[in-house]
Structure 1
């Protein structure tokens, strides 16, 4: 998943000035091309009814509270940096 976020903060799309929106789709297009994505979704949600809210669940220590238990692995930082640079050059 990739996030493309305008620099101007607006609670909803209609709150963002037009001149701040003009770079969004061209940036998405460049990102799609740079990553080689062939099938993808572009989503834009607004407001709490669109589930744009953050729930904070307390986690007082390592054993209590909600945990995320899917398998993870450490990334090779050199490979990730190289991938990041490759994508940047394509954009």
Structure 2
């Protein structure tokens, strides 16, 4: 199964994933390999390969993803203690799945990098 297909299956609820938020633009779900106590991935429902594929037509999705990540942080009760948002781009940037996604990390003291 391709990386793109994995995320599409989550969006379409064809796989077992704990979705914490979904609407017509994005889907947010718990990462299967968490790097923090709370590790949620936020993805656009329409495929975008990575940050390099953001253009004038899809630019607003990043703002929307960030806005919803703040709402999800509040929902998960990590907004006051603190959280981190990460977007990796391509292999050397740490992107393992070729589908734009935002990591929302928190629920514990995160290491500095």
Q: TM-score, normalised by structure 2?
A: 0.42
Asked if structure 1 preserves the Cα contact closer than 8 Å seen for 2:44 and 2:65, the reply is yes
The alignment's C-alpha RMSD in Å is 1.7
Measured against aligned partners, the alpha-carbon deviations of 1:42-78 in whole angstroms (never above 9, x if no partner) come to: 1100001112236xxxxxxxxxxxxxxxxxxxxxxxx
Q: Which residue of 2 aligns with 1:50?
A: 93
Matched, 1:5 2:79: no
Which range moved further: 2-11 or 40-49?
Answer: 2-11
Report what 2:52 is aligned to.
14
Mark the runs of 5 or more structure 2 residues left unpaired by the alignment.
1-38, 98-113
Q: Partner of 1:28 in structure 2?
A: 69
Task: Tell me which residue corresponds to 2:14.
Answer: none
**Larger C-alpha radius of gyration, 1 or 2?**
1
Are 2:86 and 1:40 equivalent residues in the alignment?
no
TM-score normalised by structure 1 residue count: 0.51
CA-CA distance at 1:20 after TM superposition: 2.5
Higher helix share: 1
